[in-house]
Amino acid sequence: MANNSDIEIWKDIPNYEGCYQASNLGNIRSLDRLDNRGYKRKGRMLKQSIDSARYYTVSLSKQGKNKSNNVHVIVATTFMGHERGNGHVGLVVDHIDNDNLNNRLDNLQLITQRQNLSKDRRGGSSKYVGVCWFKRAKKWQSSIKYKGKQIHLGRFENELSAHEVYQAALERVNKGLAPK
């Protein structure tokens, strides 16, 4: 018996209705149609390429113009209504499992850019966002970005203290106040 999450559901891609569809499993296909010269085009599964940021992309064509699109954004636009100016301003499409190549609908969520940068960090010198090891001073340093500028929050003996100061600054930013 098939798992419900393995049943493929196809929907028209907004602004490409009748030409392209996306599936909840992260596939993209073209539909049978007439091209801009009036020639019949047979629908097919689109080949996905990996871009320099390690995301799958496909090229969609409309009125003779090709545009490269990230597959995860297409799936979110098609199934979640993700669109700037549609109540989702400032939200980004996030891969829940941090695998940029897993574009299944059940692996995608809409979150803020700050949340996206804060989640499940790998590498770096600290396990906390906004905290890094400052080698020269041999201390932990904390900083936060506010209105396009990096704000230095201080240097600390331990990583947790630097994190706590960052969290207090983040709380202020989330209330619309400048960090201290």
88 & 126 share domain: no
Question: What pLDDT does 43 receive?
Answer: 93
| Domain region containing 63 | 4-116
Calculate mean pLDDT across residues 102-114: 89
Cβ distance 12 to 78 under 8 Å? Answer: yes
Residue 66 lies in a domain: yes
Token pair 């969520």 in the structure block, residue: 109
129 & 110 share domain: no
Report which of residues 126 and 20 the model is more confident about.
Answer: 20
- With pLDDT > 90 as the criterion, what percentage of the chain qualifies? 50
What's this model's pTM, rounded to 2 decimal places? Answer: 0.67
Question: pLDDT tier at 14 (50, 70, 90 boundaries)?
Answer: very high
Q: Which segments within the chain are labelled E, that is strand?
A: 10-12, 20-23, 28-30, 33-34, 40-41, 49-50, 56-62, 65-70, 91-95, 108-112, 131-134, 139-146, 149-156
Q: What is the pLDDT of residues 137-175, one digit of tens each?
A: 999 999 988 887 888 999 999 999 999 999 899 888 888
Distance CA 10, CA 150 (A): 44
Q: Which of 90, 116, 142 is the last residue of a domain?
A: 116
125 & 109 share domain: no
CATH number at residue 51: 3.90.75.20
Spatial neighbors of 119 by CB under 8 A, at least 6 apart, are: 94, 98, 111
57 & 79 share domain: yes
105 & 21 share domain: yes
Q: Which of 116, 139, 161 is the last residue of a domain?
A: 116
CATH number at residue 146: 3.30.730
Question: pLDDT tier at 117 (50, 70, 90 boundaries)?
Answer: low
Distance CA 133, CA 120 (A): 18
Question: What pLDDT does 156 receive?
Answer: 95
92 & 39 share domain: yes
User: Which residue, 21, 24, 30, 22, is CA-closest to 6?
Assistant: 24
Distance CA 133, CA 165 (A): 15
Distance CA 41, CA 8 (A): 23
Question: What pLDDT does 134 receive?
Answer: 87
Phi, psi of 33 (to 5 degrees): -165, 175
Q: What is the pLDDT of residues 23-82, one digit of tens each?
A: 999 999 999 988 778 889 899 999 999 999 899 999 998 888 999 999 999 999 999 988
Residue 135 lies in a domain: yes
Residue 180 lies in a domain: no
The per-residue pLDDT of the chain, averaged, comes to: 86
153 & 94 share domain: no
Question: What pLDDT does 89 receive?
Answer: 55
Burial class (CB in 10 A: 0-12, 13-18, 19+), 109: middle
